[in-house]
């Protein structure tokens, strides 16, 4: 079998592309590297750790549901918090109803919550797409256009740039990315991020970076590429192959926030790469736990429970044994965490077999979940809008 032409291994790592700063309205992003928003992951403690390692880029808060923000849901409001050290306060909104999303954007503006707003049109999760949201929404060009237009109008008044995150389409028979990119540009978005998979592809296989190149060639605004950046050389390869203006990193940094240091070094032509030993990883886990405890206003139990998934990622590949991993998953407070870390050998080197390798979800979706009759037309009827915009209590969960 021949080598996949999209593979980063086909690019010499010393071929460093020039990465110019990206201007998003009044905001300058000195190094266009983005921490992609991930539900349950990119709260401010994790963002702070990533930003401390990485360049002056965009470190985006996890998705906030517009209806939840309008309802003043406590969890949604907590997720809107930023640490004082964060250089650019970047927040992502998700909504289906243009009016509700506009109201959420107005709250962000009126209460000075963020410096930048990203709109989520890329989420492939069934509970989102079955309500017409996330990566399903660009198919309905009327709602897509109206939602962006309303949010941009609100944010422009406060000089807050708006960007959009999209996918290639629902599937390869229903691709929307070029049209969606042009609509976003025409309605005032300052940049577009493309995850180079369809909804149907979910997180499976290798994303098709050629589509990022197509979108870049088609638009005047900056294009960020997203998908399968597992190491610094992947970031270099994506830029060289597609000409994109920047890269967005998602699952690749789960349990390895130092990836941003490696990408920073790569774009500076520095060959140094961080692959910490187990002692250093424990130091990061400890700091992460302390920041989460602050995030949860001193509640160690909440903090340690939140940290559990991160610990599984931090320890991935290390030969620590199943019983140790189980013990970490049963920790209830900082003392428990310290006890388990004290049982580890800090001298164990970072396992080569997981360096720059995929992590997180890699499976294909079995089926794309959409509202009934969604693909029948590119615009919505009055009846469809009434169904979509009904007062769904799930929409205000967070």
pLDDT tens series, the chain, 398 aa: 333 433 444 445 457 788 899 999 999 999 999 999 999 999 999 999 999 999 999 999 999 999 999 999 999 999 999 999 999 999 999 999 999 999 999 999 999 999 999 999 999 999 999 999 999 999 999 999 999 999 999 999 999 999 999 999 999 999 999 999 999 999 999 999 999 999 999 888 889 999 999 999 999 999 999 999 999 999 999 999 999 999 999 999 999 999 999 999 999 999 999 999 999 999 999 999 999 999 999 999 999 999 999 999 999 999 999 999 999 999 999 999 999 999 999 999 999 989 988 876 656 666 899 999 999 999 999 888 988 887 554 454 54
Structure-block tokens of residue 389: 């915009």
H or E stretch at 194: strand 191-195
Q: Please, how many CA atoms are within 13 Å of residue 382, restricted to the half-sphere of its CB?
A: 0
Q: Which of 50, 80, 123, 244 is catalytic?
A: 123
DSSP-based three-state secondary structure for 94? strand
CB-based contact 277:315 (threshold 8 Å): no
Residues 6 or more apart whose CB falls under 8 angstroms from that of 255 comprise 310, 312, 313, 314, 315, 316, 359
Active site residue 123: yes
SS3 86: coil
Task: Return d(Cα 80, Cα 332) in angstroms, integer.
Answer: 26
**Contact in structure between 266 and 232 (CB atoms under 8 Å):** yes
* Residue 90 φ/ψ, nearest 5 degrees: -110, 125
Give dist(CA 283, CA 341) in Å, integer. 9
110 phi, psi to nearest 5 deg: -65, -30
pTM metric for this prediction: 0.92
User: If you ran DSSP here, which 8-state letter would residue 253 be given?
Assistant: G
Look up residue 298 and give its two tokens.
Answer: 């001193």
Quick one: tokens of 108?
A: 């962000």
| 3-class secondary structure, 225 | strand
């Amino acid at each position: 079998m021949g080598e996949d032409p999209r593979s980063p291994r086909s690019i010499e790592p010393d071929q460093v592309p020039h990465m110019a700063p990206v201007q998003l309205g009044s905001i300058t992003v000195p190094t266009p590297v983005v921490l992609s928003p991930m539900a349950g992951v990119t709260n401010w403690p994790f963002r702070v750790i990533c930003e401390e390692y990485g360049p002056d880029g965009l470190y985006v808060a996890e998705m906030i549901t517009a209806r939840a923000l309008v309802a003043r849901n406590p969890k949604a409001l907590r997720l809107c918090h930023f640490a004082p050290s964060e250089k650019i306060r970047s927040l992502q909104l998700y909504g289906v109803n243009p009016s509700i999303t506009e109201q959420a954007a107005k709250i962000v503006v009126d209460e000075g919550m963020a410096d930048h707003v990203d709109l989520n049109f890329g989420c492939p999760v069934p509970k989102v797409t079955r309500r017409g949201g996330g990566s399903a929404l660009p198919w309905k060009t009327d709602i897509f256009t109206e939602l962006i237009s309303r949010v941009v109008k609100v944010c422009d008044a406060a000089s807050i740039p708006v960007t959009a995150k999209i996918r290639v389409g629902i599937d390869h028979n229903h691709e929307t990315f070029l049209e969606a990119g042009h609509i976003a540009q025409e309605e005032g978005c300052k940049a577009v991020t493309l995850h180079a998979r369809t909804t149907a592809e979910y997180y499976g296989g290798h994303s098709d970076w050629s589509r990022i190149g197509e979108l870049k060639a088609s638009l005047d605004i900056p294009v960020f590429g997203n998908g399968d950046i597992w190491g610094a050389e992947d970031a270099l390869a994506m830029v060289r192959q597609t000409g994109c203006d920047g890269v967005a990193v998602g699952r690749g940094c789960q349990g390895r926030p130092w990836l941003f240091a490696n990408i920073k070094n790569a774009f500076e032509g520095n060959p140094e790469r961080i692959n910490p030993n187990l002692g250093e990883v424990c130091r990061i886990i400890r700091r992460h736990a302390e920041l989460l405890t602050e995030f949860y206003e001193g509640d160690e139990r909440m903090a340690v429970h939140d940290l559990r998934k991160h610990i599984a990622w931090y320890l991935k590949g290390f030969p620590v044994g199943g019983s140790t991993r189980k013990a970490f998953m049963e920790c209830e407070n900082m003392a428990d965490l310290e006890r388990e870390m004290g049982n580890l050998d800090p001298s164990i080197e970072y396992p080569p077999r997981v360096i720059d390798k995929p992590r997180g979800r890699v499976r294909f979706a079995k089926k794309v979940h959409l509202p009934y009759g969604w693909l029948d037309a590119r615009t919505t009827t009055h009846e469809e809008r009434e169904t979509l915009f009904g007062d769904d209590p799930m929409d205000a969960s967070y």
